[in-house]
Amino acid sequence: MASHPIGFNPYATPKAQLDTEAVRGNVLAFPRFSAWFVFLLTWLTLGIYHAYWIYTRGRITNRVLPSGGVPLGLTIAVVILFCANLIASFASGMEPENRHLQMLGLLLSVAQWIVHLVWIFTFRDVLREISNKPAVSGWMTFFFSQLYFQYKINEFIDELHEGEISLGEAPSGIEATP
């Protein structure tokens, strides 16, 4: 029989550090995935992959940034509004003469669009903070959102691997905070 120190609990969860400091607060926490595949998967799944992409990237920002990334409530609101809008759209397609379903679908679409705009510009600010580069265009964010974000994430990861930017390097014109 093995002897254990007093106070040792063999049933306790391991106390391992799962996030490395190199990934914490860094763009390397995001997976490198082709923007073309993001486009293709979004198109093939009728936008369902878009909601999945938003949810997973929102969770990554919250894990990576000590101050918090995109608020989890905002991310969940985008996904719930997407699902509700999808259901209302299919239901109004099944009963095209029902004006109440069409009005509900319209209201859900507008609400989803507004919350999605808030989410993408919040994510843009978080991505600028994580990447330490201010080069994330507002126009491209507005028109291409997730495709542009995935492209920029891939670009930042490539620059990091090529040594063009370093971990913790402050971009020009912005002071680094300790």
pLDDT by 10s per residue, the chain, length 178: 566 667 777 787 777 655 544 454 577 888 899 999 999 999 999 899 999 999 999 998 888 887 778 999 999 999 999 999 999 989 988 998 999 999 999 999 999 999 999 999 999 988 888 877 777 888 988 999 999 999 999 988 888 888 765 555 444 444 444 4
Of 41, 66, 67, nearest in space to 54 by CA? 41
pTM of the model: 0.74
